[in-house]
Amino acid sequence: MLMIAGHIRTEPSVARELADDLRAGIPRTLLEDGCLAYAFALDDEAAGTVLVLERWRDEASLTAHLSTPEIAELMGKWQGRLNVEVSKFDLANERGMAD
């Protein structure tokens, strides 16, 4: 399993628009094979940061998602206006909070 987590930074004046654009794809993405969680939140509008959290079954699922026309369209719209500070983690031992 993979987890994607971090922040996307942009100009504060368009941070809310970015968060809205990212969140617009949530319902569609959650239906994709291998998507276990997919969420974005406007973290600090004044700083222009959007929080990213995704979980994917495997690398193939993530690769398929990143190859969709919707992601290409989103990246085209925001090209050159983002600083992506997101990391990918391999999760080999997932446990509940009480474990």
Task: Give a yes or no: residue 75 inside a domain.
Answer: yes
Q: 80: which residues sit within 8 A by CB, 6+ positions away?
A: none
Q: Is 49 exposed, middle or buried (0-12, 13-18, 19+ CB in 10 A)?
A: buried
Q: Are strands 83-90 and 35-44 parallel, antiparallel or unpaired?
A: unpaired
- What's the total number of domains in the chain? 1
Task: Give a yes or no: residue 98 inside a domain.
Answer: no
Q: What is the pLDDT of residue 93?
A: 86
Task: Give a yes or no: residue 27 inside a domain.
Answer: yes
Task: Give a yes or no: residue 96 inside a domain.
Answer: no
Q: Which domain holds residue 14?
A: 2-90
Tens digit of pLDDT for each residue in 8-40? 999 999 999 999 999 999 999 999 999 999 999
Q: What is the pLDDT of residue 95?
A: 87
CATH code for the domain of 53:
3.30.70.100
Tens digit of pLDDT for each residue in 87-96? 999 998 888 8
Task: Give a yes or no: residue 8 inside a domain.
Answer: yes
Confidence bin at 3 (pLDDT 50/70/90)? very high
DSSP string, 44-79: ETTTTEEEEEEEESSHHHHHHHHTSHHHHHHHHHHT
Tens digit of pLDDT for each residue in 51-73? 999 999 999 999 999 999 999 99
Task: Give a yes or no: residue 30 inside a domain.
Answer: yes
